[in-house]
A = this chain, B = another copy of it.
Amino acid sequence: MDKQTITIYDVAREANVSMATVSRVVNGNPNVKPATRQRVLKVIEELDYRPNAVARGLASKKTTTVGVIIPDVTNIYFSSLARGIDDVATMYKYNIILANSDESGQKEVQVLNNLLAKQVDGLIYMGHTLSDEVRAKFSRSKTPVVLAGTIDPDAQVGSVNIDYREASKFVVDKLIKDGNQKIAFISGSLSYPINSQYRLQGYKDALKANQLPYDESLVFETDYSYKAGEALWSQLTAAGATAAYVIDDELAVGVMNGMLDHGIKVPDEFQLITSNNTILTDIVRPKMTSISQPLYDIGAVAMRLLTKMMNKEEIEEKTILLPYDMVERGSTKG
């Protein structure tokens, strides 16, 4: 049907110029006489020439492709970030290679090697934690890296987040102001710094600010799943908790439904604030009060930061904190 391989050489021949000139017009180099440019463009059109990005990448050492490491695309939190990333990438003429890591260190390393072999111009990493091995690879490689929605305690690479500690303090504070004394902290693994060093600290900050004791039996470490949340109701009631701050929406829905299914009224007998303001918060009844994180923007800003790095522009601040907010819905009162 078509033999396809129209090369820059074919265009050059037809247009009676050298490959170099064709290359210049394709790349928008201004040093081409307008008349010549027209002629070349016409031939390109006629021949339906499309530059081979692989050859271009080899010659220029730029692939206009960035690698994106994501724990799981089906997770709304991360896919929202990914959407922001892709939109900005497209805006700046980059493509993204998306790779699921399942948060597995081994898979991450493998994926990373792969991405570097493909000569991506930059990397965006998402995950709850950053293993030492991955971190080491990052600092050893000269490929720019930005973390999106992910904390690097060392702040070696770029990152975009909200102030998790402050946000946590803020919502727990609200729960206290609303009259709760025993507030559960429900999170994923506390081995993730983002949970233990930021959110849990924020929780403690709020307790302290209100002269409430920190009670370890109110801290629940589980995994980010609906089922896990659903199962928590008995422990919560046993601990005497009248409210909870949950750090993942799916988990939060599980907790809430678990309570409701066992006759505990929300928000009358139990109040709850979650963290990501995904569509889930709006879909359940009662609707859930949540911290609202600018997920799309975190992704978008991360990608924007990365473009600057890839472009070797001056970066004023590579650790970016975006503003957050809280939206009150039916799972809290007042």
Contacts and interface: CB of A to CB of B under 8 A. Distances in A.
Contact of A279 (B1, B68, B250): B250
A155 interface: no
Contact of A95 (B50, B114, B139, B253): B114
Contact of A140 (B1, B65, B250, B280): B1
A57 B142 CA distance: 22
Interface stretch (A125-133, A196-204, A235-243, A282-290): A282-290
Contact of A58 (B55, B116, B279): B55
A271 interface: no
A41 interface: no
A73 interface: yes
A119 interface: yes
30 contacts: A1-B139, A1-B142, A2-B141, A2-B142, A4-B141, A4-B142, A50-B113, A51-B117, A52-B58, A53-B117, A53-B118, A54-B54, A54-B118, A55-B58, A65-B97, A72-B83, A73-B86, A74-B76, A74-B79, A74-B80, A86-B98, A90-B100, A95-B97, A95-B114, A95-B115, A96-B99, A97-B97, A250-B279, A280-B283, A283-B283
A131 to B, nearest CB: 19
A197 to B, nearest CB: 28
Interface in A47-84: 50-55, 57-58, 63, 65, 68, 72-74, 76, 79-80, 82-83
A21 interface: no
Contacts of A80: 74
Interface string A104-148: 000000000111111100000000000000000001111000000
